[in-house]
């Protein structure tokens, strides 16, 4: 329908959403194709902000397939495009989430997928330093991603403490589905990396019921 209406911005939004959904469903080929389709839209070619987002999605697509150099190249394009974006130019509400903080968060995902936890940790710290305090959901998910990066570097106690910050951020509200999924992934990784660690057992005792039923 967006194509029939010749609405390039709507086409970009559809492809962007398709790329996100494909990534969450581990359909990596489809996700990469969708992000590249978004990248090819007229809206992306004319607007640096849109271009940056599509390149960042493409980086995730490449990283999901283990293609390191194309992923890093796409990240570079995303950073360069964002640097050209004029923050005073009006943009649709749906892309208001995107900026330096979100690009840093997406960079953390790319680095995590590429098996580079130290770089993922640095990018997560960068994202948290820029994310608005009011964006609790985004900050919580970035915090869990930071914890995973720490865990993959053997920092078990620090990683467990970091996830505690995510629970504190969402205190009083139900945990979003994606956040629960991320915490479940953290739990499985925790007991793969350090099954006998005291910190791992304490984390399970303290948080397992909360994240699995919230």
**Global pTM value:** 0.90
The answer to whether position 54 is within a domain reads: yes
The answer to whether position 24 is within a domain reads: yes
Q: How far is CA 32 from CA 60, 90, 119, 188, in A?
A: 8, 28, 22, 27
The answer to whether position 179 is within a domain reads: no
Q: Which domain holds residue 62?
A: 1-84
The answer to whether position 168 is within a domain reads: no
Identify the CATH number of the domain in which residue 77 sits. Answer: 1.25.40
Residues 6+ apart with CB under 8 A from 133: 139
Mean pLDDT of 110-131: 96
The answer to whether position 187 is within a domain reads: no
Query: What is the CA angle 41-44-50, rounded to 5?
Result: 140
The answer to whether position 150 is within a domain reads: no
The answer to whether position 100 is within a domain reads: no
Residue 201, phi-psi category: left (phi > 0), alpha (psi -120 to 50), beta (remainder): alpha
Is pLDDT at 3 greater than 80 in this prediction? no
**Total structural domains in the chain?**
1
Cβ(77)–Cβ(55) below 8 Å: yes
Mean pLDDT of 1-11: 74
For the stretch 18-46, pLDDT in tens is 999 999 899 999 999 999 999 999 999 99
The answer to whether position 53 is within a domain reads: yes
């Amino acid at each position: 329908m967006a194509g029939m209406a010749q609405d390039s911005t709507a086409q970009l939004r559809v492809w962007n959403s398709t790329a996100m959904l494909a990534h969450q469903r581990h359909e990596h080929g489809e996700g990469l194709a969708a992000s590249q389709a978004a990248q090819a839209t007229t809206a992306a070619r004319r607007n640096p902000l849109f271009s940056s987002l599509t390149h960042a999605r493409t980086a995730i697509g490449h990283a999901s397939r283990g293609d390191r150099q194309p992923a890093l190249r796409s990240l570079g394009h995303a950073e360069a495009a964002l640097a050209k974006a004029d923050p005073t130019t009006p943009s649709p509400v749906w892309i208001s989430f995107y900026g330096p903080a979100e690009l840093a968060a997406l960079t953390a995902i790319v680095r995590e997928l590429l098996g580079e936890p130290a770089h993922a940790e640095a990018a997560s710290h960068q994202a948290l330093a820029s994310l608005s305090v009011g964006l609790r959901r985004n900050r919580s998910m970035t915090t869990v991603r930071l914890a995973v990066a720490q865990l993959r570097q053997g920092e078990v106690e620090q990683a467990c403490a970091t996830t505690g910050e995510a629970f504190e951020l969402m205190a009083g509200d139900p945990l979003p589905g994606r956040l629960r999924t991320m915490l479940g992934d953290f739990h499985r990784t925790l007991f793969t990396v350090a099954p006998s660690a005291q910190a791992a057992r304490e984390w399970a005792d303290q948080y397992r019921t909360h994240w699995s039923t919230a």
